[in-house]
Amino acid sequence: MLQVKKLTVHYGVIQATKEVSFEVNEGEIVSLIGANGAGKSTILKALSGLHRPTSGEILYKGQPIQKETTKKIVELGISQVPEGRHVFGGMSVLENLEMGAYLRKDKSEIQKDLKMVFDRFPVLGERKKQDTATLSGGEQQMVAMGRALMSRPKLLLLDEPSMGLAPIFIKEIFNIIKMINEQGTTILLIEQNAKVALEIAHKGYVLETGKVVQSGTGQELLASDEVQKAYLGG
């Protein structure tokens, strides 16, 4: 579904990624793990059209998208849940979710998808008229994920979904990620919490200073001495 080939991205004179290559097959959860500054979020911004690569290629279903606009990329079926959630404060939960469907015109189907989101995240249904800024961090993460799902993505990009969440919410969010995947959405997951990310991943890649230094199945990377020492406290 997604092939990233020798992706290099700069911020001014700073090289954020160095010829990064990886792939995501349809139906998978793929995790990119690494320390702060490894280039993880930069990769997602490049995939979403938010930052232009210096060189390299991004193929989605065989089609190059590295020069496409963010709007076009969403239309093709890729949605991102950004790091830090970025919900719209001053707007209700319902209004935030409706923003996720802003490119769609099928009103009856949008209503069906709102029901799906409320079924998946019951607390949001209970608080649909509440200002999103007043929700807890975990509830805001649910809004951000629900908002992305409202565009009916085929590929969902998740940037640090556990950041700043209490352990009970982390477990809940990752259970929801697994459920979303089991119901047919392919997922690329960026996560500092390597253990929980690799436990649910079909495949993983380890990034260090902008380069892929290791890859394997989630279980292979969990068992790796290098990964344990660097990320799992082993």
Rounded mean pLDDT of the chain? 92
DSSP code of 226?
Answer: H
Contacts of 85 (CB under 8 A, 6+ apart): 137, 140, 141, 143, 144
Residue 126's pLDDT band, with cuts at 50, 70 and 90, is: very high
Residue 234, pLDDT above cutoff 60 = no
> Can you list the domains of the chain with their CATH numbers?
2-231 (3.40.50.300)
Q: Using a pLDDT cut of 70, give the percent of the chain over it.
A: 99
Q: What is the mean pLDDT of the segment spanning 116-126?
A: 93
3-state SS assignment for residue 4: strand
Q: What is the mean pLDDT of the segment spanning 126-149?
A: 93
- pTM value is 0.90
- Strand order of the β-sheet with 63-64 is 14-24, 2-11, 55-60, 63-64
pLDDT digits (tens, 9 = 90+) for 75-116: 999 999 988 778 999 999 999 999 999 888 899 999 999 999
pLDDT digits (tens, 9 = 90+) for 154-203: 999 999 998 888 888 888 889 989 999 999 999 999 988 899 999 999 99
Residue 215, pLDDT above cutoff 90 = yes
DSSP string, 62-123: TEE-TTS-HHHHHHHTEEEE-TT----TTSBHHHHHHHTTTT---HHHHHHHHHHHHHHSHH
- Strand order of the β-sheet with 155-159 is 78-81, 155-159, 186-191, 29-33, 203-208, 211-217
